[in-house]
Structure 1
Amino acid sequence: MSRTFVRGGGGFRVSGWVLVAAAAALAVVLVAGLVLAVVRLRRSRSAPTEADGPTPLPSAPDPGPEGTRRDLRPVGPQRPGDAVSGVLPRDLAGPPGGLALLQLSSQFCADCRASRAVLTDVAGEHPGLTVREVDVAMRPELVRLLGIRRTPTTLVVDPAGVELARHVGVPRRADLLGSLAPWRRTG
Structure 2
Amino acid sequence: MEEIPTYDDFNWVELPICFICPLATNKSRDLDNRWSRLRSVNSYNMLSLQVLYQPGAVIHLLVMCFILETAYGQDNRNNLFSVNMKISPIKNANEFTVEITITSNVDECMAVKVSTEDKPNIKYLSAHAAYTACVCATNNFFWDIQVSANSVLRGKAEVVPAKGICPDGEKIYPVTTYMRTTAREISVTP
Q: TM-score, normalised by structure 2?
A: 0.26
Tell me which protein shows more strand as a share of its residues.
2
Identify which of structures 1 and 2 has the higher relative contact order when contacts are C-alpha pairs closer than 8 Å and 6+ apart: 1
In our comparison, the structure showing a higher alpha carbon Rg is 2
Q: TM-score, normalised by structure 1?
A: 0.26
